[in-house]
Amino acid sequence: MTSTCAERGKPVDPRMIEAVLGEIAAQLETFALSGECASIDLGGLPFSGRDREALDARLGRGEIQATIDLAGRSEVWETGFSGVWRVRHFDATKIIVDLVEIASIPEILRSDRRDAKLAAQRLKAALERENAVLAENAHEQ
């Protein structure tokens, strides 16, 4: 979220990255034992763009990548460490939220059951309409 102008010449801060990785490791262990999820907001830390890249290089990429098309783009991917996800919200080209989530799956990827309930009604209604049309066509023939 800091512009590159102010970061000119700023070196990567290895201690900051180590600290964040340490926290991720601790939270991941807690999640493995008890299932308790956690979320770390990188925007709230004194993290430069270079630090972010360095952190992502250490975390690597896993098997899943997802894109969300909602009020701008969002990118979600699992890192090389199972249970450690990156969630990044964009608006146009700028990152506006950058999270590390420790969970089975980030909340934003789940479909809400309340949305599903209404979707079920919509699907049912669509099927009924289609059946009615088919019945009418059959009747005409």
Partner 1 sequence: MSNDQTLAAMLRQRGVSRRAFLKYSSYVASLMALPPSSAGALAEGLANARRQSVIWLSFQECTGCTESITRSHSPTLENLMFDFISLDYHHTLMAVSGEAAEKARQQAMEANKGKYIVVVDGSIPTKDGGVYSCIAGISNQQMLEETLRDAFAVVAVGSCAAFGGIPKANPNPTGAVAIKELVGDKPLINISGCPPIPEAMTGVLSYVLSFGKLPELDHLGRPKAFFGETIHDRCYRRPYYERGLFAEGFDDEGARQGYCLYKVGCKGPVTYNACATLKWNGGTSFPIQSGHGCLGCSEPDFWDQGGFYRPLPTPLGAMGPMLAGAAVAGAALGFGASLSARQHQKTFLAPPKSGEE
Query: Where does this chain bind partner 1 (CB under 8 A)?
Result: 1-3, 5-6, 37-41, 43-44, 68, 70-72, 74, 87, 89, 91-92, 94, 96-97, 99, 107-108, 111-112, 114-115, 118
CB of 2 to partner 1, least distance (A): 7
Q: Where do the DSSP E strands lie in 23-133?
A: 38-41, 65-69, 73-78, 84-91, 94-102
Residue 11: DSSP 8-state? P
Shortest distance, CB of residue 108 to partner 1, whole angstroms? Answer: 5
Q: Give the shortest CB-135-to-partner 1 separation in angstroms.
A: 29
User: Least distance in Å: CB of 9 to partner 1?
Assistant: 10
Q: Of the two residues 121 and 131, which places its CB atom closer to partner 1 in the complex?
A: 121
Q: How far is the C-alpha of 140 from the C-alpha of 75, rounded, in Å?
A: 50
Nearer to partner 1, 12 or 68 (CB): 68
Nearer to partner 1, 107 or 128 (CB): 107
**3 DSSP assignment:** -
Task: Identify the CA nearest to 66 among candidates 80, 86, 52.
Answer: 86
